[in-house]
């Protein structure tokens, strides 16, 4: 916590007591410029400062913990959380568990966001990749090639490739968005039409092109390879959504 005297809690609008307490705690974190891992006032101090009951404080803290805004360490107190996208990831995965076939649109949007991020950060990614990273990426492509030749699924290796590709830039939010993509993809993929051997060979070729462009520090070639890599899954998703909407569309056309 900052060595200077912390600022007081700000009064907030009052849609509900728990919401009021939650907003006050968030304001306290912002006003005092606290960082992940910094301690928050004790439960008794929060009660006194906010004029709220222990149960209201606990409910608010529990809600903030779900969002990763605070972290409760039993026996030690409450701390500023990692402020990650874990709640988003869990929400997307839960939707996939409820009805994977309804998540074709979500996965399409995640692909779009992921491609925009990777293409937009192409120069930074290429600058961050060390020779050892490139060698590791080449090894993963070789593993994909072997899996494809054996008729095995490439998704796990594909995920490892992209995690290794993005790791050197050290952006946790990008990593969490990528995690959301892969977690949702794992749920939705079984409902897509299976990729052919040609698709798998194309996937391997796309990844080799990515590594080649990275070694050459060629951002344009890297972006083109990314676009080619995402094209097949976009096609499969479009086919799945068309098949899902087909009967309704057909009925509307017939009438």
Catalogue all structural domains in the chain, each as residue range(s) with its CATH number.
17-80 (1.10.10.10), 86-242 (1.20.120.530)
Tokens of 65: 């913990």
Is pLDDT above 90 for 216?
Answer: yes
CA distance 223 to 216: 13
Q: Is the pTM of this model over 0.75?
A: no
Taking residues 164-190, report their average pLDDT: 82
pLDDT at 39: 94
pLDDT band at 197 (very low <50, low <70, confident <90, very high): low
pLDDT band at 129 (very low <50, low <70, confident <90, very high): very high
Dihedral sign (CA 241, 247, 250, 255): negative
- pLDDT, the chain, mean: 82
pLDDT at 214: 97
Is pLDDT above 80 for 56?
Answer: yes
Judging by beta carbons within 10 Å of its beta carbon (0-12, 13-18, 19+), is residue 246 exposed, middle or buried? exposed
What phi and psi, each to the nearest 5 degrees, are found at residue 156? -65, -45
Taking residues 186-195, report their average pLDDT: 67
């Amino acid at each position: 916590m900052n060595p200077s005297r912390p600022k007081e809690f700000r009064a907030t609008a009052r849609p509900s007591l728990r919401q009021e307490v939650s907003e006050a705690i968030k304001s306290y974190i912002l006003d005092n410029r606290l960082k992940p891992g910094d301690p928050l006032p004790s439960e008794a101090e929060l009660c006194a400062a906010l004029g709220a009951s222990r149960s209201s404080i606990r409910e608010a803290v529990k809600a903030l913990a779900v969002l990763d805004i605070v972290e409760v360490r039993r026996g030690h107190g409450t701390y500023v959380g990692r402020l990650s996208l874990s709640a988003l990831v869990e929400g997307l995965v839960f939707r996939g568990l409820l009805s994977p076939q309804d998540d074709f649109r979500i996965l399409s949007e995640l692909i779009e966001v992921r491609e925009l991020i990777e293409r937009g950060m192409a120069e930074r990614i290429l600058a961050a990749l060390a020779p050892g990273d490139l060698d590791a990426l080449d090894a993963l492509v070789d593993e994909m090639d072997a899996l494809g030749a054996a008729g095995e699924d490439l998704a796990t290796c594909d995920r490892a490739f992209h995690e290794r590709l993005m790791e050197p830039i050290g952006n946790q939010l990008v990593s969490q968005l990528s995690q959301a993509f892969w977690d949702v993809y794992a749920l939705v993929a079984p409902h897509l039409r299976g990729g052919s051997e040609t698709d798998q060979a194309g996937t391997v070729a796309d990844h080799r092109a990515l590594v080649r462009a990275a070694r050459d520090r060629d951002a344009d070639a890297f972006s083109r390879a990314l676009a080619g890599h995402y094209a097949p899954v976009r096609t499969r998703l479009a086919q799945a959504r068309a098949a899902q909407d087909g009967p309704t569309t057909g009925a509307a056309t017939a009438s």
